[in-house]
Structure 1
């Protein structure tokens, strides 16, 4: 068992080492002194080495926290029979992912993303330091520079790639807002008019399934259900058809999502009609082919795969649009409105409304629907769950407008009248 030991500071100071008297000491699972890790801690303590001032590092990070994080990294390396001298940044990401999924946690549950990020950060800094000190070979990390709001002001910070996106803090839960459903529908209609039917379809796909931007961009043609599969689902009385997400997913983990049958049919019709013409046009013009499902129908770009920046532009630039709008906000909208109309359908069975059923009922049933949604959504962390449940409790008056989220977004006349 790796152990982080806090020596007697007074005793160490009396021996003439006051500057490092407070520095914890790490021993591995064989009770061996971890020489390089402990040297790193001493240099951090004496400011002989530290991440650049522009690195994203929480102010609350202490030497004890750093030592405990490194101890956890040592245990993970031992479990993988991995020597730190040979560790790459891909190993850091695997370590981070194991914590995010709960594979590497005492309880087998996903850890808070701030915890997973902090541990991966400290392992990254240690390996960067070791490479600088010539204790190992080159350690390659393509750091990026970003603008982030920290303590109320914008700062330029250096961030390691693929760091987990941390959920909104508790202080931001009350500020969580979603657009009115009618705003989303009007925006979709504007996308269709101004950016074309193909971009409209990919935006609808995101809003009606909750897939991430990268998952929509990379979705392969072969994974879309056939006419026969869609008909079979409809014949069985289902309102959704299962669809595999096999490409562009976070961590490369496949999952099956449920696509509304009406949307599945509409996209299938587009695949077998206009899309075939676009692909043929691309091949005739450039001799190229693509297996991406969503391809452009814009003049000059016919048949070219629709990229994430183009989809992002639809969210950011097409008007009229909700005041604060983005692909991530679209995922939130899918989750909340989908659950809201599910609650509305349940309440109608009791000849009531979500408001009439009460806040406790909304909370309890909303929690159950969120559990069911996790498989579709990919991941719903605890803080996001709290945000969604609080929003549901304060937005039940929207149930009528959000009734039938999928039909509503498609502009169904029946939904318009409600």
Structure 2
């Protein structure tokens, strides 16, 4: 079994290598080749299977908008890469495979095959991993093996690619890795409104106000887990003076893109998201009541220390919740289905928002004939660009198609409520 060790952000000085983890083998020997790769990747010297130009990582700052500059990955990214390499090293040990000898086809057939079949899932044995998880692991492993071949740590390693039509530019072609796991649009599992409402109620009754409101915000605002954990109280907008349905809120802490790996505040690319007025009222109620009790607990336990800026705080310590604690609370009551996560909550927001916007468009239009499923297929791309992309931060072509398939299937089965968010507040 391999071990990943990364310094805590409160306990290290910000240096060029402070965000890079280390990997040790089961006998506590430093995995030199793996660490060499992590250092090269973490300092921007190796990326996407090739060595970067020295000018890119020595002359251009990490925040440079220049197309040729290399952006050094964040601490969170390097931690994810380290975990994926550790998982691969564990698999090699369990299957008696030498990573210096394995080829691309064997990697796809055996390592990827075991993850697809549920034979290599360290949390739920027998359960296949999500397509996105498998593809991410294979991506980083291939990058490491390409690096190892480049440095002479192993023999040649070639990733196989196919030439496919670029979904973003319909008339041009691009390369796509051969053997990539595809997620069928029908594989997208979204909880029903009733399932989500029941789960939120159980979370509130058994775990309290903070976990309930964090989960409700994940569903109602579609923030990433890290964005939710780092959301500050002063970022919550004031209640509107006029009658509106939503208000804008700017998020940046924990956001992807434009992040300095040495920034302890994890400030990323800002974007404006829409928050329903009903949810906003709950957030204000939380700040004026429960959060003040949490701050009192923090002051009692940490006299003289600065109060935390984060919005959501633990009722036990008054401190912001860690990701592991948040995820443990998320799963502490019966989930709507296995695999329901904060990331799936973002898909849930997108799908139900599309349903609501399609119904609004139909009601405002005149002379619209035919079933709603046909209308959804015709207008979904415009709605994705107008409403979904600004909120989520990005939506690629495959994800957009999954949303469309889910919405079309829903209109085939039932006529959904006009406002799904109102139902969660009943």
Structure 2 residue aligned with 1:336, among 331, 351, 376? 351
Partner of 2:132 in structure 1?
none
Q: TM-score, normalised by structure 2?
A: 0.58
Are 1:220 and 2:220 matched, yes or no? no
Task: Find the counterpart in structure 2 of residue 243 from structure 1.
Answer: 249
2:397 pairs, out of 382, 393, 404, with 382
In structure 2, the partner of 1:363 is 377
Q: Distance in 2 between matches of 1:267 and 1:249?
A: 20
State how far apart, in whole Å, the 1-side matches of 2:48 and 2:226 are: 34
Indicate the structure with greater helix content: 1
1:170 CA displacement: 3.4
Alignment equivalent of 2:87, drawn from 137, 146, 154? 146
Q: CA deviation at 1:327?
A: 1.0
Q: Look up the match of 2:196.
A: 184
Shift of 1:336: 0.6
Distance 1:355 1:179, change over 3 A: farther
Shift of 1:293: 0.2
Alignment counterpart, residue 240 of structure 2, candidates 214, 231, 247: 231
What's 2:295 paired with? 279
Alignment-derived partner of residue 327 in structure 2: 312
- The corresponding residue for 2:337 is 322
Change over 3 Å in CA distance of 1:201–1:142 after alignment to 2: closer
> What is the CA distance between 1:70 and its match in structure 2?
3.4
Q: Is the 8 A contact 2:211 2:330 kept in 1?
A: no
How far is 1:141 from its partner? 11
Q: Shift of the alpha carbon at 1:68?
A: 9.9
Counterparts of residues 106-185 of structure 1 (less than 5 Å): 143-144=82-83, 145-146=86-87, 150-153=112-115, 154=119, 169-185=181-197
- TM-superposed deviation, 1:316: 2.5
| Residue 200 of structure 1: aligned partner | 212
Deviations 1:41-79 (A, max 9, x none): xxxxxxxxx977xx99xxxxxxxxx999638x43xx55x
For residues 294-313 of structure 1, the aligned pairs below 5 Å read: 294-297=312-315, 301-313=316-328
The 8 Å contact of residues 281 and 303 in structure 1, kept in 2 or not, is answered as yes
Answer whether contact 2:230 2:253 (CA < 8 A) is retained: yes
Max Rg structure: 1
Distance apart, 1:150 and its partner CA = 0.8
Report deviation, 1:354. Answer: 10
SS of the equivalent of 1:241 reads strand
- SS in structure 2 opposite 1:387? helix
Partner Cα separation in structure 1 for residue 80 and residue 198 of structure 2: 43
Equivalent in the alignment of 1:42: none
- Counterpart of 1:266? 282
Partner SS for 2:186: coil
Corresponding residue SS for 2:253:
coil
Quote how far apart the aligned CAs of 1:353 are: 9.9
Q: Kindly indicate whether the alpha-carbon contact (under 8 Å) linking 2:209 and 2:290 is maintained by their aligned counterparts in 1.
A: no
User: Given the superposition, is the C-alpha separation of residues 304 and 399 from structure 1 closer, same or farther in structure 2, using an over 3 Å criterion?
Assistant: farther
Q: Compute the displacement of 1:169 (Å).
A: 4.4
Supply the distance in 1 between the matched residues of 2:418 and 2:369 (Cα, whole angstroms).
11
Aligned length, in residue pairs:
289
Match of 1:132 in 2: none
Q: Does 1:256 align with 2:272?
A: yes
List gaps (5 residues or longer) in structure 1. Answer: 1-49, 57-65, 106-115, 121-139, 413-418
What SS does the aligned partner of 2:213 have?
Answer: helix
Alpha-carbon distance between aligned partners in 2 of 1:371 and 1:181, rounded to the nearest angstrom: 24
Q: Per the alignment, do residues 357 and 272 of structure 1 end up closer, same or farther by CA in structure 2, a change over 3 Å counting?
A: same
Higher mean displacement: 385-394 or 304-313: 304-313
Q: Would the aligned equivalents of 2:219 and 2:345 in 1 still touch at CA under 8 Å? A: yes
Q: Secondary structure at the match of 1:151?
A: helix
In 2, the alpha carbon distance for the partners of 1:376 and 1:319 equals: 28
3-state SS of the aligned residue for 1:143? helix
Superposed CA offset, 1:187-225 (max 9, x none):
111111111011111111110111000000000111111
Cα RMSD after superposing both structures: 4.0
CA 1:177–1:281: 2 relative to 1, 3 Å: closer
The structural deviation recorded for 1:380 is 0.7
User: Which residue number in structure 2 is paired with residue 7 of structure 1?
Assistant: none
TM score, norm. by length of structure 1: 0.59
Q: State whether residues 209 and 257 of structure 1, in contact with CA within 8 Å, keep that contact through their aligned partners in structure 2.
A: yes
